[in-house]
């Protein structure tokens, strides 16, 4: 794609690699990218992205190619966006929808935030490399995709209650990605499943691009995840946190797809209950209470119900009893 001038006129690109498989992949593709320059990065902070953009300014590049996991891709997306350079996303795992989204999740001043960035101009996923990633990363990706069902339901709730506009195309992209996995029974490591997961994550990215925001893929599920990150950082992956958040939000809504969602998470070994995230019921309840403040502009089932501390604790206990099987 780069060497035959489809994106870069002479293959003069900045190749950003993370601490994982990036170096190995660069060794494979370097013969075709004789004009490429390598930029190793570590960490996932706004400062790292700004520093990377400064290094780009010292040269002249047609495009940025990021090879690695979510942190590497997000740092490169942000840096490329600062300079208006097209960015190619080469994913070595399928842990979340950042591979194709217009959002970079980066830390700043000790807190993680979401920053708007241009959508990658192309996405490359090599299933041989993805298959080598830890199984928990694939489960995280599954959780992130399936949480779209809850996010779209929250969006539709906001439309009914507050007249919020719902972009039908964006909602269809987000819902289609989730539905493509909802009833699958094949193994996580098969080509067919990995292809479906990769396509679903790309659809999530396209949904956000169509909507102009993260709304079709981020509702109460992500508010809860942001609160967990703030209160109990490092306990679990983003995808598994939003999976539990989505199941709890669906429980609160008495969603018609609640049982199907719970079954799908169970089949693929994705977290369903607070303890699966390393949280006590009380800690999860505290995260639910904090969750609405993480996105004050967003209306979800949490804002709709307006539960107080005692009511949240009661609903969390009911939720755990319902799915502790």
Mean pLDDT of 112-128: 90
Does the pLDDT at position 111 exceed 70? yes
Please tell me which residue, 111 or 217, carries the higher pLDDT value: 217
Does the pLDDT at position 4 exceed 70? no
Does the pLDDT at position 253 exceed 70? yes
- What is the set of domains in the chain, with CATH numbers? 13-131 (3.40.50.1970), 135-323 (1.20.1090.10)
Mean pLDDT of 112-134: 90
Q: 115 has which bridge partners?
A: 104
**pLDDT on residue 3:** 62
Please tell me which residue, 189 or 33, carries the higher pLDDT value: 189
Tokens of 114: 């979401």
Mean pLDDT of 56-60: 93
Q: 105 has which bridge partners?
A: 114
Of 62-71, 77-86, 148-157, 250-259, minimum mean pLDDT range: 62-71
Residues 6+ apart with CB under 8 A from 225: 238, 241, 242, 245
Q: 138 has which bridge partners?
A: none
Looking only at Cα atoms, what is the longest distance across the chain?
A: 63
Contact 300, 229 (CB under 8 A): no
Stated pTM of the model: 0.92
Tokens of 97: 């929808």
Evaluate the CA torsion angle 264, 301, 227, 115 in order and state its sign.
Answer: positive
Contact 274, 316 (CB under 8 A): yes
Does the pLDDT at position 314 exceed 80? yes
Distance CA 272, CA 274 (A): 7
Distance CA 111, CA 122 (A): 29
Does the pLDDT at position 27 exceed 90? no
Q: In this prediction, what percent of the chain has a pLDDT beyond 90?
A: 80
Cα 148 to the chain's mean position, in Å? 10
E-state strands within 29-72: 37-40, 63-68
Distance CA 70, CA 264 (A): 24
């Amino acid at each position: 794609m780069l060497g035959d001038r489809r994106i870069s006129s002479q293959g003069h690109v900045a190749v950003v690699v993370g601490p994982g498989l990036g170096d190995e992949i660069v060794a494979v593709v370097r013969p075709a990218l004789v004009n490429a320059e390598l930029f190793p990065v570590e960490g996932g902070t706004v400062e790292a992205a700004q520093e990377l953009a400064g290094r780009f300014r010292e040269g002249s590049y047609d495009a940025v190619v990021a090879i690695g996991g979510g942190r590497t891709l997000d740092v490169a997306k942000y840096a490329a966006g600062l300079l208006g350079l097209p960015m190619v996303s080469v994913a070595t795992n399928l842990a979340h929808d950042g591979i194709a989204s217009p959002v970079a999740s980066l830390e700043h001043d000790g807190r993680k935030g979401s920053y708007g960035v241009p959508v990658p101009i192309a996405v490359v996923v090599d299933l041989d490399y993805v298959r080598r990633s830890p199984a928990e990363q694939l489960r995280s990706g599954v959780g992130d995709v399936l949480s779209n069902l809850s996010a779209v339901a929250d969006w539709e709730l906001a439309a009914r209650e507050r007249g919020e506009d719902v972009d039908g195309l964006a909602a269809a992209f987000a819902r289609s990605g989730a539905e493509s996995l909802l009833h699958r029974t094949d193994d996580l490591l098969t080509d067919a499943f990995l292809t479906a997961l990769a396509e679903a994550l790309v659809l999530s990215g396209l949904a956000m691009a169509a909507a102009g925001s993260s709304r079709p893929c981020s509702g109460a599920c992500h508010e809860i995840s942001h609160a967990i990150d703030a209160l109990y950082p490092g306990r679990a992956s983003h995808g598994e946190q939003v999976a539990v958040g989505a199941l709890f939000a669906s429980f609160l809504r008495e969603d018609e797809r609640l049982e199907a969602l719970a079954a799908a998470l169970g089949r693929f070994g994705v977290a369903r209950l607070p303890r699966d995230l390393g949280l006590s019921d009380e800690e999860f309840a505290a995260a639910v209470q904090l969750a609405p403040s993480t996105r004050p502009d967003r209306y979800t089932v949490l804002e709709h119900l307006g539960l107080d501390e005692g009511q949240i604790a009661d609903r969390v206990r009911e939720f755990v009893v319902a799915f502790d099987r």
